[in-house]
């Protein structure tokens, strides 16, 4: 069965960066794009972007182009999202998804000094 | 970006009651291939969202037929018949026809 296992919660300082991971299993990793979605506390969902694990091609929501960088490691079936220059506005739960059908358990990022 | 407007923001229901949630988009969601990429997801408390319905009316595997989706172009509805306790949570509509994908603000289904 398809499973997306995300990294644990992170507490990071303002101005720092954080790299989240999403390990895929149960299917051929390179056959499907991996998407990332942001959910601020108590709020709705925002689509950040996707990566094609086969080619490394990425496509970002304009809002997140200077915030997020998506990469993959095909050897470990893992996708990554690095968030840079963090502020309190970046405090949220971040999900990796395989389309809208399969979701990871989410990683809570808290930005605080 | 396509704006997805969901109503109502919240619903209080009794077990066994039926409810409907509306989702309206700012643009038609019919893609160039003729398909409509409008989906419904449920996020139960403390959990990740789970897709229930894809492309307007197709139930995902394991989703009971108490759930149904209808609509076209810019106007869509999710109906839940005979609500059960496990149906409680926040329902989101989502469109993946246009770039970037966008979500409604959610409808919180609570027990009366």
Per-residue pLDDT tens over the stretch A6-19: 999 999 999 999 99
Mean pLDDT of chain A: 97
- The residues facing A12 across adjacent strands are A111
Per-residue pLDDT tens over the stretch A59-100: 999 999 999 999 999 999 999 999 999 999 999 999 999 988
The whole-number average pLDDT for the span A27-53 is 96
User: Where residue A110 falls among pLDDT bands split at 50, 70, 90?
Assistant: very high
Q: Percentage of chain A with pLDDT > 90? A: 95
Provide the 3-class DSSP secondary structure of residue B106: coil
Match 């409509």 to its residue by tokens: B36
Chain A residues near residue B59 by CB distance under 8 angstroms: none
Write down the pLDDT at residue A99.
Answer: 85
A101 touching B (Cβ < 8 Å): yes
The partner residue sitting opposite A103, judged by closest CB among B49, B99, B102, is B49
Q: Is residue A42 scored above 90 in pLDDT? A: no
The partner residue sitting opposite A100, judged by closest CB among B94, B100, B106, is B94
Please give the DSSP secondary-structure letter assigned to residue A41.
T
**Residue B84, Cβ density class (10 Å: 0-12 exposed, 13-18 middle, ≥19 buried):** exposed
Rg (CA), chain B: 13
Write down the pLDDT at residue B41.
Answer: 98
Quick check: B94 and A105 CB within 8 A? no
One-letter-per-residue 3-state SS of B59-83? ECCCCCCCEEEEEECCEEEEEECCC
Q: Which helix (H) or strand (E) holds A18?
A: strand A18-25
The partner residue sitting opposite A100, judged by closest CB among B39, B99, B105, is B39
Provide the 3-class DSSP secondary structure of residue A62: helix
Write down the pLDDT at residue A59.
Answer: 97
Residue A90 and residue A16: Cα distance in Å, rounded? 11
Write down the pLDDT at residue A73.
Answer: 98
- Long-range pairs of B25-28 with CB within 8 A, sequence gap ≥ 24: B25/B74, B25/B75, B25/B76, B25/B95, B26/B2, B26/B74, B27/B2, B27/B74, B27/B98, B28/B73, B28/B74
Selected for mutation to probe chain B from A37, A44, A105 (highest B CB count within 10 Å) is A44
Burial B56-76 (b: 16+ CB within 10 A, else e): bbebeeeeeeebebebeebeb
A99: left (phi over 0), alpha (psi -120 to 50) or beta: left
Residue A59 and residue A49: Cα distance in Å, rounded? 5
- The residues, ordered by sequence, that sit 6+ positions from A31 with a Cβ below 8 Å of its Cβ are A54
Given a cut of 70, the residues of chain B with pLDDT beneath it are none
The whole-number average pLDDT for the span A14-34 is 98
CA A64 to chain centre: 12
Selected for mutation to probe chain A from B9, B100, B106 (highest A CB count within 10 Å) is B100
Quick check: A101 and B41 CB within 8 A? no
């Amino acid at each position: 069965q398809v499973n997306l296992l995300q990294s644990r919660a992170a507490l990071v300082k303002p101005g720092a960066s954080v790299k989240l991971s999403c390990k895929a299993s149960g299917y051929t990793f390179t056959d499907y794009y991996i998407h990332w979605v942001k959910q601020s506390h108590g709020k709705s969902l925002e689509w950040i972007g996707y990566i094609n694990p086969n080619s490394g091609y990425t496509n970002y929501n304009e809002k997140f182009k200077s915030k997020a960088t998506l990469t993959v490691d095909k050897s470990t079936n893992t996708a990554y999202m690095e968030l840079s220059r963090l502020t309190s506005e970046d405090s949220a739960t971040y999900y990796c998804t395989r389309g809208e059908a399969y979701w990871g358990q989410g990683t809570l990022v808290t930005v605080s000094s | 970006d396509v704006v997805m407007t969901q109503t109502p923001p919240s619903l209080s229901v009794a077990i066994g009651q039926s409810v409907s949630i509306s989702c309206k988009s700012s643009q038609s969601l019919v893609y160039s291939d003729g398909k409509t990429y409008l989906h419904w997801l449920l996020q139960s408390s403390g959990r990740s969202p789970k897709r229930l319905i894809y492309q307007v009316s197709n139930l995902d595997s394991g989703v009971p037929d108490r759930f149904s989706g209808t609509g076209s172009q810019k106007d869509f509805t999710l109906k839940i018949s005979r609500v059960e306790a496990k149906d409680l949570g926040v329902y989101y509509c989502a469109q993946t026809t246009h770039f970037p994908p966008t979500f409604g603000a959610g409808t919180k289904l609570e027990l009366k």
